[in-house]
Structure 1
Amino acid sequence: MDIQLDTAPCGYFSISDSGVIMSVNQTLLDMIGRERDELMGKHIESVMSVTNKVFFHTYFYPYIQLYGHVDEMYFSFRNREQEDVPVLLNGVRQMRDGQHIVDCVVVIMRKRIEHEKDILNTKTKLQELYQATQEANQELERLHEEYKIKEQALIKVNEQLELMASTDLLTGLKNRRFFQEKMAHHLSLYHEEQREFSLLVMDIDHFKSINDTYGHPIGDLVLGNLATLLLSISREVDVVARYGGEEFVIILANCGEEQAISIAERYRSQVASADWGEYHVTVSIGAATISAADTELSVFQKADDALYASKTGGRNRVTHAASLVRR
């Protein structure tokens, strides 16, 4: 660890997704009166009281998994004498060296009265959780008494939260966050291994009129049915996601311009010919294929410009960005 970070005026540590300490600076070691070899490779909860372990699992883990960061969380570590050391904790979850790492900084709390008030508020919130359901209460009680046994169960809960964080709740498709991560992955594969891919941006034609005429519940039903149809058509290697509103995106792996147009036409025609009951549903599609000069943003912008061309050209059609350049 570089000396500036090791002696920074705030504590620093990094942990794996499972909570194992991967690095810690001297400032934090001095704060809690520990030696470096006492903590490296150990679980971060080894320097916490039982109450703070429950707090860490109840708030820190779910929040960092869902949102990727935690800001200004009041917390306590245990020093060698088993005394609480109150701190203010900030954390961020990011990908490094092929794995998710949680980097955290801590500052000792000087205003103990304010800290104790926050702890009291936290205990009140925990008590409300205890009262929510008998199952939740029993689970939390077992966490106090059988923490080691329940550790694996809580890890599984965190995995489920990660799945929820990548899923659009209305349609069941992958969400915008997941799509952006996969775009970065495919772009990396293209630059490293020349694996070509294409992107489709799809928009439901006149969707506002469906909402205005039949109401938003029917609009939501159309979105859900379209998502099911798209999944039934897509290949296993492709990524189908809801980008927002009535807009969907599809990453076509190992797919060049001609194949992308063919696949997009298949999507368009099957949506247009599907049985939508009394509703008339069609989609407009813009396509783009990766090139050496492209970034994530430029590929999406080209596909979006092609979508606009499909919309202004009469809707219910496919346009590839390459055709816009050739005009």
Structure 2
Amino acid sequence: YLVGRNWGSLLSAIAFAVCAFIVYQHSQNPEPVKVGLGSVFNIIEVAIAHIILFRFYEKTRFAAYDTLAEKNQLIKRLAETDKLTGLFNREKLDRTLSSLLKSSNFGFILLDIDYFKEINDTYGHLEGDKALVIVASKLKSLSSSKAVCARWGGEEFVIIIEGTTLDETKEIATSIVKDINGIYFHEKRLSVSCGVTINHSDDNTLTVIERADSALYRAKKNGRNRVEFNE
């Protein structure tokens, strides 16, 4: 069974078949070797013990493999998840963005919480963390097979939506701005600003981010709580 369940079973069956053949050959001998009933029982006991032992070993081995696979999956999730918000982290986002640039069209939203420094200065960093978690929980509802949400850093987040046009991406960003502005935090409305763009055939990671960041800067400059875009 060291060679696996299927091969182990096959080799064991062959071994028992060979033993049975040898016993049969002896029985056909003109002067057969006398085998006592006790010896027969001993052979049967050894065979049963062999099967039980290696079945137990096989079951234990596969259980260990399953446990190891689960731990590896957990380590992978932790390595690509932002601890505070539960969204993907920047490393995971960078890999996703690089991969999509090679194969897909997508919309890109760079989102920033308005007046976040004021929240930290007024209520403390723990309350600032709560604001981050609130915004992240709204973004999680967008997560799907075609949408990746991540914490970019500080109070900034990124949403990548695969297979969308610029107009569709703007609509999604506008909906996010509206939803978050309906949330009260310390008796004030939370608000976010968004910079939107889509990828081009000659883009790299830096050019996509620069266009979205430029649009986000305009959104901040033009009053916050709004969406601006660069094609």
- What is the TM-score of this pair, normalised by structure 2? 0.70
The percent of aligned pairs where both chains have the same amino acid is 37
CA distance in 1, matches of 2:79, 2:137: 20
Relative to its length, the structure with more strand (as a share) is: 1
Q: Please, which of 280, 283, 286 is the counterpart of residue 189 of structure 2? A: 280
CA distance in 2, matches of 1:172, 1:199: 20
Relative to its length, the structure with more helix (as a share) is: 2
> Which residue does the alignment assign to 1:198?
107
**Quick check: 1:233–1:267 contact (8 Å CA) kept in 2?**
no
CA distance in 1, matches of 2:97, 2:113: 22
CA distance in 2, matches of 1:275, 1:316: 14
Q: Please, which of 168, 189, 201 is the counterpart of residue 82 of structure 2? A: 168
Amino acid at match of 1:187: L
> Which residue does the alignment assign to 2:71?
157
Listed as ranges, the matches of 1:1-327 within 5 Å are: 150-190=64-104, 196-233=105-142, 235-322=144-231
Q: 1:148 to 1:232 in 2, by over 3 A?
A: closer
Q: Which runs of 5+ in 2 are unaligned?
A: 1-59
> Which residue does the alignment assign to 1:65?
none
**Quick check: 1:238–1:252 contact (8 Å CA) kept in 2?**
yes
- Greater RCO (Cα-Cα under 8 Å, separation 6 or more): 2
CA distance in 1, matches of 2:155, 2:140: 16
CA distance in 1, matches of 2:144, 2:75: 26
CA distance in 2, matches of 1:297, 1:153: 40
> Which residue does the alignment assign to 1:136?
none
Amino acid at match of 1:181: R
Amino acid at match of 1:164: L
- Give 1:288 shift: 0.9
* Superposed CA RMSD: 1.8
Q: 1:273 to 1:233 in 2, by over 3 A?
A: farther
What SS class does the counterpart of residue 319 from structure 1 fall into? strand
Q: Which has the larger radius of gyration?
A: 2
CA distance in 2, matches of 1:207, 1:264: 19
Q: Which runs of 5+ in 1 are unaligned?
A: 1-145, 191-195, 323-327
**Matched residue count:** 172
**Quick check: 1:310–1:316 contact (8 Å CA) kept in 2?**
yes
